[in-house]
Structure 1
Amino acid sequence: MTRFRDELRLLADQAPDVDLAERAVRGARRWKATAFGSVAASLIALALTAAVLTGGSGGGGAATTTEITDVLPASGVDPAAYAYYDFCGRQWDPRKNTHTFAGRECAQWRLVTQGGQSFRMPQALSVYTEQSPDEYMNTGGPLVISSDGRRVAYYSEKDQKFAVRDLADGRIWLTPQTITRETMVKSDGLLRLSPDGRFLSLNGHGQPDAVVDIETGQVTEIPANWWVQRVGNGGKPIIVENGKNRLGVLDGGRVVPLTPVDDAVRTFSEPSSDGRTLAYFNGAVFKDHIGVRDDDTIVTVDVTTGDIRSRVKFTDVPKGFRASRMGGWLNTTEVVITGRVDGDPTYRWKDGVPTLGETTYAIDVNTGRIRKLDDYTYRAHAGNLALPGF
């Protein structure tokens, strides 16, 4: 999980203004909505043809060959490592040229498996070609991958529903809710998959917020003024948030507050594998909506009782470290997070093209110790990346 692989460009005509040897692993999120996350599986790369990839920083790894393929097969696909799109590597102007991406294969979501294969997903709506000054941040349809990489959820424009697909056996389930493309473009909702890929949560897509058991079609609606953020294996717990940085657990149709009144929770993990433990960051201070102190503490809470299990300050912190997102559990004591330090190879410009990306770390919930996992970067003006559990 800690290996980094450089990713070469797919085709020269897909990225005429981008160096084909540049890295392409981490996409920039352009949604208005906040993204929460989990660890990606080993990132394997793309190439112009079957190409030799050089090893990674941080976690290391031997050179590997990636097989370039076309459309996602009907079945027999290895678990996903990640999926991304990058606006064909071209400079993107939301008010002027978005329509020029319509129908282009290079603008589709591309799924990369843990085994190194790369597939286009034309069935998954990716780049929105309708833009306005108010809607330009909603650049593409959401796609999420279950933590185990075995299932992927996306918006099926053909069906006007969200779909969940099992990559191995090819089964596809559709949600009961019908949602038009127009609604998708106007809204900035989020999708969440439970770690086992069975439960899909819908937020802000023109329908009541809900959790759908995709295998039975059963729908659990979320009480007003709460928004589902995480769903555990088997559909429980359902973690919700009230828009005021307070977390709760949905139990029997009502919300039971989960976090202390003085804990403003903005970033939190997936539930642990047994569904009992949730981790979250704490310690940030804001004044007039501007951060004056970054998160410096990790807290774990027992979801079943609401009791705080641990609260520790970050230790062994890299100089200039700022925590960003929190993902799934790497093991029984460590949670995968993203963050930045001064000097990270992200958001730098070269020859008029920025480098986008993130750096992953593991944090021990008992000691607060932080250790770097890897960097994920690529050069592009805009795009999006989906990692398992995010």
Structure 2
Amino acid sequence: MRVTAMSVAALAMIACTPLPALAHPAHGDADAVRYAWVRGCGVQAKPCGDWILFRRHGSRTRLRDARVKPLSDKGKTLNDDLAPLSVSDDGRRVAYFRKGDGRLVVRELGGGVHVIADEVPARGYGMGDVRTMLSQDGTRLAVDYVGEYDRGGKPKRPTDIYDVATGTKLGSIPWDVTLSGFSPATATRSWPPGRASGPASTS
């Protein structure tokens, strides 16, 4: 498999419950999100309650419209699993699946919400098959599908890159290339035609 190496910002990551989605806000930004957390309940520590955003100044904010338990490709709630959520490295934006309609959205700390225009996850995939990654400033969102092959045995879907402000897709990264992260200069530099914005090298 080819691997794309980028100038990597510290990334928000989700794995098991309970686990924080980490960010590294600037020292002067007291309102920025440091990490997001969800409780694990019972002996098996199944995810429960709301996502909680921990701010740099010490306060906590419940993200009440974010899904905690993902939906399968058939629309069934997976009670043992954790829905994807990611925080931009500057701690100003959070990407998650919305409870009401299941849409993938990016929320700004000021309250604005940007809806991704495409149907995510794609048909035949569940929310648990998706991993999201925000750029350092939260202006770009990567949507990756887990696994090297889809359920039909064909190469998996490419990683799609979206412009958060408009919700539209900028481009895609081939399925056999691994996105390592975004450069801080994502918004001002571009790859070759047909690729999403951001510098990259392949090895």
**Per-residue deviation at 1:234?**
5.3
Q: Please, what TM-score do these two structures have when normalized by structure 1?
A: 0.36
Give the Cα separation in 1 of the matches to 2:135 and 2:65.
22
Give the Cα separation in 1 of the matches to 2:85 and 2:167.
20
**Per-residue deviation at 1:215?**
0.8
**Per-residue deviation at 1:175?**
0.3
Give the Cα separation in 2 of the matches to 1:188 and 1:138.
14
Q: CA distance change for structure 1 residues 162 and 190 in 2, over 3 Å: closer, same or farther?
A: same
Give the Cα separation in 1 of the matches to 2:195 and 2:70.
36
1:217 paired residue number = 167
Read off the aligned partner of 1:212 and give its amino acid letter: Y
Q: Which has the higher helix share?
A: 1
Quick check: 1:107–1:127 contact (8 Å CA) kept in 2? no
**Per-residue deviation at 1:28?**
8.1
2:153 paired residue number = none
1:79 paired residue number = 32
Give the Cα separation in 2 of the matches to 1:257 and 1:198.
17
Give the Cα separation in 1 of the matches to 2:15 and 2:191.
29
1:175 paired residue number = 116
1:146 paired residue number = 88
Q: CA distance change for structure 1 residues 180 and 191 in 2, over 3 Å: closer, same or farther?
A: closer
After superposition, the C-alpha distances for 1:91-125 in whole angstroms (9 at most, x for unaligned) are 217xxxx5xx6xxxx52211111111112212111
**Per-residue deviation at 1:212?**
0.7
- Unaligned 5+ runs, structure 1: 1-26, 32-36, 43-76, 131-135, 239-248, 261-390
Give the Cα separation in 2 of the matches to 1:121 and 1:38.
15
Which of these residues, 83, 86, 92, is aligned with residue 44 of structure 2? 92
1:124 paired residue number = 66
How many pairs does the alignment contain?
Answer: 168
Give the Cα separation in 1 of the matches to 2:79 and 2:129.
9
Moved more, 78-87 or 212-221: 212-221
Give the Cα separation in 2 of the matches to 1:142 and 1:233.
23
**More contact order relative to length (CA 8 Å, sep ≥ 6):** 2
Read off the aligned partner of 2:60 and give its amino acid letter: S
Matched, 1:199 2:140: yes
Mapping for residues 171-320 of structure 1, pairs under 5 Å: 171-179=112-120, 183-185=125-127, 187-204=128-145, 208-225=158-175, 226-233=177-184, 235=186, 250-253=191-194, 258-260=201-203
**Per-residue deviation at 1:220?**
2.0
1:294 paired residue number = none
Give the Cα separation in 2 of the matches to 1:257 and 1:119.
36
**Per-residue deviation at 1:235?**
3.1
Give the Cα separation in 1 of the matches to 2:193 and 2:80.
34
Q: CA distance change for structure 1 residues 180 and 192 in 2, over 3 Å: closer, same or farther?
A: closer
Give the Cα separation in 1 of the matches to 2:132 and 2:14.
17
Quick check: 1:81–1:112 contact (8 Å CA) kept in 2? yes
Equivalent residue of 2:126, what SS?
helix
After superposition, the C-alpha distances for 1:157-208 in whole angstroms (9 at most, x for unaligned) are 32322111111x21100001223698334x4321111111111111118965
Query: Quick one: percent identity of the two aligned structures?
Result: 23
Read off the aligned partner of 1:177 and give its amino acid letter: D
- Unaligned 5+ runs, structure 2: 1-12, 73-77, 151-156
Equivalent residue of 1:86, what SS?
strand
Quick check: 2:171–2:195 contact (8 Å CA) kept in 1? no
Q: Which has the larger radius of gyration?
A: 1
Quick check: 1:194–1:235 contact (8 Å CA) kept in 2? yes
Which runs of structure 1 show a deviation greater than 6 angstroms over 4 or more consecutive aligned residues? Answer: none
Quick check: 1:79–1:148 contact (8 Å CA) kept in 2? yes
1:323 paired residue number = none
Give the Cα separation in 1 of the matches to 2:188 and 2:180.
11
